[in-house]
Amino acid sequence: MLFIGLLILSYVLGSLSSAILVCRFLSLPDPRLSGSHNAGSSNVLRTSGTKAAMLTFLGDVSKGIVAIGIGQWMELPMHQLVWLSCAAVVGHIWPIFFEFKGGKGVATALGAMIVLSYPFSISLMLIWLIVYFIFHYASVASLFSAISAPILSYAFFPELFSITLVLMMLTLCKHRSNLQRLKQGKESKL
């Protein structure tokens, strides 16, 4: 029963859309109404600037950190931490408080990874940065990081393999529209 309560808490925590809340607090336009229409830090950067984007990113990462941190504090086993991280990411992607229109879940997943394995999360951030500086597309960097996560975890952090596989599938699912825009040459660079 405790675990089910923590799953619900993680989902609710994930549902607190940092992009929407930051933009409301700073009297900026709703990110779901312009740019890529995504409630994430990349779209907030495009539509509202660096300050709002950084606050959004930090808020989204914090959701993953808190969800996993609570689970670790409760001394839950790894397979239950996997489910808590997925619940936070699903909440971010489909937030109950914001008409189920959220972000892509990448920053929230990163927050979970930071708590589960700091070296692993650093390697994913480096992959993201390298790919971003080569291609200048946040979506391409996110996709490369997502695809790299299960491969890296299998090789170096096997205890994280199942979580990275599930999070990769969620990320790929949410980036379908980005893949279409990339194919059509219509994807926005940052």
175-188 pLDDT, tens digit per residue, is 888 888 888 888 77
pLDDT one-digit tens code per residue, 22-60 = 999 999 999 999 888 889 999 999 999 999 999 999 999
Residue 151 in domain: yes
| Per-residue model confidence (pLDDT) at position 71 | 95
190 within domain boundaries: no
For residue 118, give the nearest of 77, 72, 86 by alpha carbon: 72
In a domain, 12, yes or no: yes
DSSP conformation letters of 93-151? HS-GGGTT----SHHHHHHHHHHH-HHHHHHHHHHHHHHHHHH--HHHHHHHHHHHHHH
Average pLDDT (68-75) is 95
What are the pLDDT digits (tens) for 85-94?
Answer: 999 999 999 9
Residue 148 CB coordination number (10 Å): 18
Count of structural domains within the chain: 1
The C-alpha angle 78, 83, 86, rounded to 5 degrees, equals 125
Judge whether 161 and 154 are in contact, CB under 8 Å.
yes
Q: Evaluate whether residue 60 is within a structural domain.
A: yes
Could you tell me which residue, 70 or 175, shows the higher pLDDT?
70
| Mean pLDDT within 145-151 | 93
Whether residue 189 lies inside any domain: the answer is: no
> What span, in angstroms and rounded, lies between the C-alpha atoms of 11 and 67?
9
pTM for the complete prediction? 0.89
Whole-angstrom distance, CA of residue 66 vs CA of residue 100: 21
List the structure tokens of 28: 């900026």
The pLDDT assigned to 178 comes to 80
| Residue 48 domain boundaries | 2-184
In this structure, is residue 168 part of a structural domain?
A: yes
Classify residue 80: in a domain, yes or no. Answer: yes
pLDDT at 7: 96
Q: Averaging pLDDT over each range in 37-41, 99-103, 123-127, which range is the top one?
A: 123-127
Confirm whether 159 is domain-assigned: yes
The answer to whether 3 touches 80, Cβ cutoff 8 Å, is yes
From residue 128, give the alpha-carbon distance in Å to each of 33, 132, 140. Answer: 26, 6, 8
